[in-house]
Amino acid sequence: MAEQPITPPLSEDPTVRLEELRGEAERAIEAAARAEDLEEARVRYLGRKAELTAVLRSIGQLPADRRGPVGKAANAVRVALEARLSERSSALEAAALEARLGGDRIDVTLPGDPPRPTGHLHLVTQTRREIEDVFVGLGFSVVEGPEVELDYYNFTALNMPPAHPARTLHDTFYLSDEIVLRTHTSPMQVRAMEAQAPPIYIVVPGRVYRRDSDATHTPMFHQIEGLAVDEDITLADLQGVLLEFARAVFGPEREIRLRSGYFPFTEPSVEVDVSCFACAGTGALADGRRDPLCKGSGWIEILGAGMVDPNVFGFVEERGYDPERVQGFAFGLGIDRIAMLKYGVPDLRLMFEGDVRFLEQFGAGA
């Protein structure tokens, strides 16, 4: 900004010039739109080098009879301009505040942020919990065990010594000669009995691993093991517990049937079927077509079970499992398989691919 030249002390009648200065300064003050403009006007008209300041300083050099009137007039202009400045400054501040408040105002009529989508438990977890709840209701406790397991617990202590032919049915992942990824939850039968004297009533959910992959097999899947050991346990107790389970999970109308089966660690062993819930056990749909779910048989296989083989008790006999005194039943079922049946999932691999379009279809039971 160019500096305003200082007008030499006024000799004649400076009051005319003072009035001019007042008008000029007042217009500049009114025109100031920002605090900076106002400061500029103040420096220019009231600052050290301002013309008015020069007038005030030069009063002493005026003839004695002029000092009074000119001094008075100059002071009046100064006072008036200072008042204008402070007025304008307040007005600008108020306007700035008003603008800030206006900018910050919240429009409560605008729509809010859309709600965040919430997730839910995986279908397998939902099903696991549902099954656990049934057995907890029957007096069983839930325990868990290692997925990386000793060959001893996975096979040997389950009455499958090395070279037992049943071992080949398991498609085992071997980590070393002695360590495997457990192929079923049954190794926890022996571990649990080692840890706790009879009676014992447990269910053991968890991941198991087999070298197998197609629409109904994945290298990792889930089982729940059941084990009940007490005095006077019979196959009828197994039957009653499994009927209760089948009805809780598949509906109160269900029946079960036990077919003879084979597992090295149970004797006798059974395969358990539940009456088909799609065709109510008739094998035919309402339109007369053969029911594809049970393949027209009216029954669906859901698990393997049996009475604990005395040879298994032999591995934990010193823990109080005297085969002459205690009996037990055991069962093992596939959690994923139960979920597939119940919800009509056609391919087991869908469960583990993590495709949200699949997963979000099962949000209700979370």
Between 187 and 281, name the residue whose CB sits nearer to ligand PHE: 187
Q: How many residues does the chain have?
A: 366
Between 15 and 127, name the residue whose CB sits nearer to ligand PHE: 127
Among 140, 153, 331, 362, binds ligand PHE (CB under 6 A): 331
Q: Tell me the sheet residues that pair with 107.
A: none
Query: Of 9-17, 71-79, 113-121, 298-306, which segment contacts ligand PHE by CB under 6 A?
Result: 298-306
HEC states along 201-245?
Answer: EEEEEEEEECCCCECCECCEEEEEEEEEEECCCCHHHHHHHHHHH
Minimum CB separation of residue 210 from ligand PHE in Å reads 9
Query: Of 100-108, 145-153, 238-246, 325-333, which segment contacts ligand PHE by CB under 6 A?
Result: 325-333
Query: Of 66-74, 108-116, 329-337, 342-350, which segment contacts ligand PHE by CB under 6 A?
Result: 329-337
- By CB under 6 A, what part of segment 140-159 binds ligand PHE? none
Does 330 bind ligand PHE (CB under 6 A)? Our answer is yes
Q: What is the CA radius of gyration of the chain?
A: 47
Minimum CB separation of residue 246 from ligand PHE in Å reads 16
Between 296 and 323, name the residue whose CB sits nearer to ligand PHE: 323
Residue 287 neighbours by CB distance under 10 Å: 5
Alpha helices (H) along 105-140: 123-137
Q: How far apart are CA 145 and CA 193, in angstroms?
A: 12
Nearest to 312 by CA among 194, 146, 168, 222: 194
Query: Of 53-61, 63-71, 94-102, 302-310, which segment contacts ligand PHE by CB under 6 A?
Result: 302-310
Judge contact between 225 and 188, C-beta under 8 A. yes
Minimum CB separation of residue 305 from ligand PHE in Å reads 5
Between 51 and 309, name the residue whose CB sits nearer to ligand PHE: 309
CA angle at residue 26 from 23 to 32, to 5 degrees? 140
Q: How many residues bind ligand PHE (CB under 6 A)?
A: 11
What are the distances in angstroms from CA 3 to CA 40, 47, 81, 118, 295?
Answer: 11, 12, 20, 68, 103
Phi/psi for 217 (5° steps) reads -135, 135
Between 329 and 362, name the residue whose CB sits nearer to ligand PHE: 329
- By CB under 6 A, what part of segment 182-241 binds ligand PHE? 184, 186, 225
Contacts of 256 by beta carbon, 8 Å cutoff, 6+ apart: 239, 242, 243, 246, 272, 273, 274, 275
Minimum CB separation of residue 223 from ligand PHE in Å reads 6
Residues that bind ligand PHE (CB under 6 A): 184, 186, 225, 263, 266, 304-306, 330-332
